[in-house]
Structure 1
């Protein structure tokens, strides 16, 4: 295998597609067919596709990509492993060099590809120094198995230590109206030239599902005026904040629906006025 060419920020679209919930259930459904979702995303300009070993659906993602593999920036993650109990809180982290080497082979086989464009450490480890993890990831890059290195669920100190070993292309962290911790990362990301991939911009659905509070009411009022949905307004807020941040920010909403995908793409074009932004900030603070 020849060494993969370097991944750059120019490879990225303005919005990505999270595939965490992609499943076999959608095949043949006009709205939820996995391959149809991928094609619709590409046609809409959303060419960054994100999955993970932990999600258990890399084979489905690989089937859905099919002949469109070379049209997308394909991302996956390693390092988080479910326990045997089936509980949502039963998971552990393995980020040692041996796991790095075995995890990539499994992901490439399941996805049926010869390299990944962006490979993330899914979660920081308290047991393995991040320098060791990133050193092993850099070996994958040298071998042509990945084009770029990413980190997820880390600290600013982790980012600096990792970047000193090998350039980090992207950091994936949650950013939404109600999850703002990542804003403290932005000066470091700008300094080091690292993209922020903002996952869960709708707060895992909590911003728009079964809420009756000040923020839900503000989202509904703005959405009504803009002839949009509350979810689109919440996503448009992340796009707006990203543009103001000075960093390269790629919101990463997840969906298995072509209809929702198109709504998410449209949200990127919504312009929020100062009154809208103030209303949202006041609602969050209340």
Structure 2
């Protein structure tokens, strides 16, 4: 089984699987995941909310020992079909039931990193994390994670059981999480940075000062703007001496390979200053 990381040695980069589907013949999910594994990306991220845990389970069949599998619970879609129709369920009974269902769908005995997908306004986070700690003790999950939470949530949760990772959006277009970094550093919690290219906007938008700066820096490195945006997140972890795992999502092998290359893109101090000036 792939070991979970130590705080000072996190995975270099993960793969977000939110949009993974098996309905597109040109974007075979097994090929995508196996290419990622062959290239050294072993952190795979999904959620019960994404509706694709069974598919993710099929993609890792026969290669489970190479994968750090992450899933999330607590957010459920409503019946309307609207993107804004969702609710949070984080009570102890839901924690246990959701984990059992995810284990079944994924076809695994243990989820390596299990996240509360979103903070609850109704259920105290202590109740949620106590139930998650019970899952650790039972061998159902290996580590506790949080997503879409506050600094206070992190402190209260960590007081109940160690939190391995917090997953929040971080990109040149979304920097609110930076206020959380001192607390994460104090507690030894890794930041998993989802949407490092701003949900794809930083790949293609050149009509803003930030987009123009990304395109300018990209030209000097014979790269693409989205690669520069992803490289910027990699550099932030190093500059701040804090463990950060960028989590770009894709369903395309070509985009996967671009994201892999971005991890090796060395931005200069001048590049970083140029981006900082317009971020």
* Distance in 1, Cα, partners of 2:115 & 2:129: 10
Q: 1:17 to 1:5 in 2, by over 3 A?
A: closer
- Moved beyond 4 Å, runs of 4+: none
Partner of 1:238: 233
Partner of 2:41: 46
Partner of 1:16: 14
TM-score by length of 1: 0.94
* Distance in 2, Cα, partners of 1:8 & 1:202: 24
Partner of 1:96: 91
Deviation at 1:242, TM superposition (A): 1.1
Deviations 1:171-222 (A, max 9, x none): 0000000111111111111111111000000111122234411111111111
Task: Return the match for 1:261 from 256, 263, 266.
Answer: 256
Deviation at 1:15, TM superposition (A): 0.2
Asked if residue 167 in structure 1 is aligned to residue 162 in structure 2, the reply is: yes
- 1:1-286 aligned at under 5 Å gives the runs 7-9=4-6, 12-26=10-24, 29=26, 32-284=27-279
* Distance in 2, Cα, partners of 1:126 & 1:57: 27
* Distance in 1, Cα, partners of 2:194 & 2:5: 20
SS in 1 for 2:142: coil
RMSD: 1.6
User: Are 2:116 and 2:147, in contact at CA under 8 Å, matched by a contact in 1?
Assistant: yes
Deviation at 1:39, TM superposition (A): 1.3
Uncovered stretches (5+) of structure 1, i.e. residues with no partner: none
Deviation at 1:164, TM superposition (A): 0.3
Q: 1:89 to 1:211 in 2, by over 3 A?
A: farther
Count residues with an aligned counterpart.
278
SS in 2 for 1:228: coil
TM-score by length of 2: 0.96
Uncovered stretches (5+) of structure 2, i.e. residues with no partner: none
